[in-house]
Amino acid sequence: MRLNDVHQGVQKRKKARRVGRGTGSGRGKTCGRGHKGQKSRAGSSASVIFQGGTMPLVRRVPKRGFNNRFALKVTTVNVADLERTFQDGDEVNSETLRVKSLAKGRYDVLKILGDGTLTRRLKVSAHRFSQSAREKIEQAGGEVCVLVGQSQPSEKASPSS
């Protein structure tokens, strides 16, 4: 085999199958659909989840739980990621994290976690900080700035006796 034989017989664009053009074509009369039945009719395509009339699995399995309308979507970033991505003296916030692809998608709360080590002086702005993350940022000579808004989780009401 040589380099010029690699694409031998391989078509770049496969020709469309022309059906219903006489019995001599090999795909005349029923056009490869067989005789009668649901699948022979025009526009016939059952739903992807249709299970032949059986009660679908989705409806057989009971419902569980609920969707909390007030739940906050929290995205997390570790200090190790900040160490790897940012330079000394940089400012870290939602926009810079999005640009560096550390905090993707939509979220309500940004939380910085303390996994890893940090040696760079960074000014970090986020809604929440773990205790270890706060200590590591301040120990490296950085600054912690807590954003207003969806900041701390609300405290549970203490049971009155």
Which letter does DSSP use for residue 38 in this model?
Answer: G
The model's pLDDT over 57-90, given as tens digits with 9 standing for 90+, comes to 999 999 999 999 999 999 999 999 999 999 999 9
Q: In Å, how far are 31, 127, 134 from 150, measured between CA atoms? A: 62, 7, 18
Using pLDDT thresholds of 50, 70 and 90, give the confidence band for residue 12: confident
Q: What is the pTM of this model?
A: 0.59
**Which CATH architecture best describes the domain 74-146?**
Ribosomal Protein L15; Chain: K; domain 2 (3.100)
User: Where do the H-state alpha helices sit in 15-120?
Assistant: 57-60, 79-85, 94-99
Q: What is the dihedral of CA 127, 117, 84, 145, to 10 degrees?
A: 20
Per residue in 34-55, pLDDT tens?
Answer: 999 988 999 888 888 889 899 9
